[in-house]
Amino acid sequence: MNDANRDREFAAAAELAAARFRGLSAEIRGCAILGPDGVLAATGDPERWREPALGLLEAADNAAGGSASHAHVATEDGEAYAVRHAGLAMVAVTDRFTLASLVLADMRATLRDLTRGAFTTLAEEAA
């Protein structure tokens, strides 16, 4: 398999991972999965996610004084989360007062499953 096909398969798997995560709870407003070159998958328009997702990750890194493994920010309007794993990052937005530990655990599990190839077979079957 050439690199272009592998990239397409991984992007399709990332789309399935984002959709599965979004479907876990009605309180999840949306999410995006980012790779080294930008947004791989998102619920909604990937370009609308790019700048805010990178901004959240940058702010978390600045606060941590290095590469932050995760972040959680709450406002009156909702909550934002970020998790990094194996060269990928995931950013999610939820309603207010979601259980942060559960959201972060689900985000970590989603990225772990994605990097282990759990969504690749499903993406191939869907194609």
Q: What is the pLDDT of residues 29-41, one digit of tens each?
A: 999 999 999 999 9
Whether 31 contacts 22, CB under 8 Å:
yes
Q: How confident is the model at residue 127 (pLDDT cuts 50, 70, 90)?
A: low
Give me the pLDDT at residue 5, please: 83
| Annotation: CATH topology of 3-121 | Beta-Lactamase (3.30.450)
3-state DSSP call for residue 62?
helix
How far apart are the C-alpha atoms of 104 and 14, rounded to whole Å?
A: 17
Q: In this structure, what token pair is assigned to residue 66?
A: 């290095």
Q: How confident is the model at residue 3 (pLDDT cuts 50, 70, 90)?
A: confident
Whether 97 contacts 8, CB under 8 Å:
no
Give me the pLDDT at residue 38, please: 93
Q: How much is the average pLDDT of 38-46?
A: 96
Higher-pLDDT residue of 3, 33 = 33
Q: Is the pLDDT of residue 4 over 80?
A: no
Q: Is the pLDDT of residue 102 over 90?
A: yes
